[in-house]
Amino acid sequence: MRAGKAPHDVVAAEASFARNRSGVFGANVGNFLFTNAVYRTVNVPGAEVVVDSLETESNRVNERYISRINEEFDVFVLPLANAFRPQFLPWLDRLSGVIEKLTIPVVVVGVGAQLGFSGDYSGISEKTNASVSRFMRAVLDHSASVGVRGEITADYLHSLGFGTDQVDVIGCPSLYDNGRLLRIDKANDSPTRNARLALNVTPSISSMGKILMDTVEQYPNSVYVPQEHRELALLLWGQHVAGKLAEGVPRDITHPLYRQDRIRFFLDPATWRDYLSTCEFAFGNRIHGNIAALTAGTPAVLLSHDSRTLELARYHGIPYRPVPPAEERFDVSELYESADFAEFNRQSPENFDRYTRFLDANHIPHVYGQGLANPAYDRELSATQYPAPVGTLFASDRDALIGRVRWLWQGVESDQTRKVGAYKPPFAPQAQNAVDEIGLLQEEVRRLTARLEEHEGTLRYLRQPVEKRAVEGLKVRVNHLRKRGRRSA
């Protein structure tokens, strides 16, 4: 299954960030909401579900890797998000190349296009259309249909020639993790000044910086919940957030929310939902930031800015409105009061049934099938101790800071390779240029190779049976005595 990690795998924050330069979660921790949900759904008793750690789309894949998939697995399940977009084409093309060589079924669960808020796909480049078409053909050669996130994506695929019998709208699997009856009941009263609010923000959207800062000032118990790996680096190491950021969104350690330790980054859906269940309201641009709240039973409203979030909100009945311009007054109380969850509550059972029918049509056993529930795995997940959410370097949790220091200092050997701030002897043998440095490295390789050969000789001797070693030892002893005898004569 395509996923960064399995739901029961516990990975520390430092290791989560370090994986593949974009995090074990693939740049956005919101991905774990739908990959975890699909993993749990297909993890029926007797099945062995193995995640690919997002390696199948990497440039490290070779023929042996593809052969192993064919030899060792019965089906390849791909939960995807907004994969039909120009920025993802290299990874999409690599996935297509792998799928074309597979001989086992391949089922895509929840892929989507990323377009503007209007959903207009007329301006998509021919290059993108070609890559998407290739991917669709490859998957449909291995499955009955492709599951997409919403009607906008379905319309786009229909324009490329894929029929209604080949494309099933199933929404996002993350909203089925609670089962068939997901319901939100909103309190009658608006959030008070002391209410716990959770804000999620797409950092590049210009008006969201002002909305974020106005809200946290008005509600002192509100917390910003980021999702990107570059924001995790800011929390862990105080690393400046590179790239396009709206004014007001935390970029470095001087930001008021950073100094006040009012930022939390969640590494696993379980801790994320636990926290959001204590909040009264959540809102923002992040579709999975809001879905995390909804699946925790907390009212949430999406501020939509593109088709990928809009089509999911429409399909699932999630209350939404377009992102307001920066000059427009933003009222949290009005946003809460206007949120109507009647459609969400009505659609939840219908959408769930459509999702399970899709799995059945593609011959994917799932825990919602008759006699296939897996309560043992649910108990395992409930007992798993996940890492605490990551706060800032101004947090009062000293144990967390000590843990980060220990991660940085992993031993004297690793410290030898550090360049910044390291001590440099005033007089020592050093390479004069790149050629000299290569020569020194080659000499080190020769030295280590010689040592390895010595050890291999010892190992070959030790691998011999004891009797053979004893015979060899006697032969050496006899030869030694003969030499001594000849010298004496």
Backbone φ, ψ for residue 464 (5° rounding): -65, 150
Of the candidate ranges 40-54, 108-122, 418-432, the one whose mean pLDDT is the lowest: 418-432
pLDDT digits (tens, 9 = 90+) for 290-319: 999 999 999 999 999 999 999 999 999 999
Q: Among 31, 305, 291, which residue's Cα sits nearest to residue 178? A: 291
Give the list of residues 6+ apart from residue 263 with CB closer than 8 angstroms, or none. Answer: 223, 224, 225, 226, 231, 235, 250, 257, 391, 392
With a CB cutoff of 8 Å and minimum separation 6, the contacts of 487 are none
> Cα separation of 21 and 301, whole Å?
31
Which distant-in-sequence residues (6+ apart) come within 8 Å of 98 by Cβ?
A: 56, 57, 61, 66, 69
Contact 94, 122 (CB under 8 A): no
**pLDDT of residue 458 exceeding 70:** no
Q: What is the pLDDT of residues 210-259, one digit of tens each?
A: 999 999 999 999 999 999 999 999 999 999 999 989 999 999 999 999 99
d(CA 235, CA 244): 18
CA distance 299 to 344: 11
What's 203's DSSP letter?
T
pLDDT for 250 equals: 97
Structure tokens at 156: 């786009």
The pTM score is 0.85
Q: What is the pLDDT of residue 134?
A: 98
